[in-house]
Amino acid sequence: MYRSLGNGEGSHRTNRSGIEKPGPSRLPSIEIMTTTNATTSITSVTLEVADVDAARRFYKAFGVDSYIRLRESAENTSGFRGFTLALTVSGPATVDAFLDAAVDAGAEVTKPAAKSLWGYGGAVQAPDGTIWKVATSAKKDTGPATRNIDEFVLLLGVDDVKATKKFYVERGLVAGRSFGGKYAEFTSEASSPVTLALYKRRALAKDLGIPVDGTGSHRIVIGCTAEGFVDPDGYVWEAVVG
């Protein structure tokens, strides 16, 4: 079902989640949008799973249980759910340590860890169906493997990056770097547990080594400081206090 993909041609850059962003050879400019006051920030990421106890055991073994919340759900879902959760870590040995822990706990490899133009990383699918990517910009280790996570990133695959970015900005999120209609980041407050980014859905599936097809629920709920809403791609945001 899954396949491993090699590097594409042309100039590339990397972002915090290890996603390859088109470089100058394919995009004319980089847009940077900043705002002084954010009215909306992410407070939590909740995964909807069929078996909460089993998922809790997996995520504790994986080492990310403190970064997510879990909720029972029986909503239909199949194939690619449109998003990935990404861990940015210090070096290749730490990437391997996290991926090995996930596989030992029951995850399946969707893209084996390997070096690329941007660094080193790989992806796995958790038993509940969530795709996780672990990556580093370092191509060599400067020390032993750790269990430390430098950054936790929620990368949403969307049909129209520009339209979804505009939708989020209108609801109080602060846009950061934007690479044409291919990729966009949002700035996050110090209290926010996760960094949000947008990527074209098809390109994200390719990066993760999985087919793009998918139907049904995304099986993720994004907690925020604003009133709840559903975005143009069907991702559910809900108001969360504390």
Domain locations in the chain as residue ranges: 40-239
Please list the rounded mean pLDDT of every run of 10 residues in the chain (242 residues): 30 52 39 51 96 98 97 94 98 98 98 94 98 96 96 97 96 91 90 92 96 96 95 95 63
How many Å apart are CA 7 and CA 171, to the nearest integer?
Answer: 36
pLDDT at position 190, please? 76
pLDDT at position 18, please? 66
Q: What is the CATH code for 40-239?
A: 3.10.180.10
The three-state secondary structure class of 165 is helix
Q: Which candidate, 204, 80, 35, places its Cα nearest to that of 133?
A: 204
Phi first, then psi, for residue 116 (nearest 5°) are -150, -170
pLDDT at position 24, please? 36
Q: Which candidate, 179, 213, 169, 175, places its Cα nearest to that of 199?
A: 179
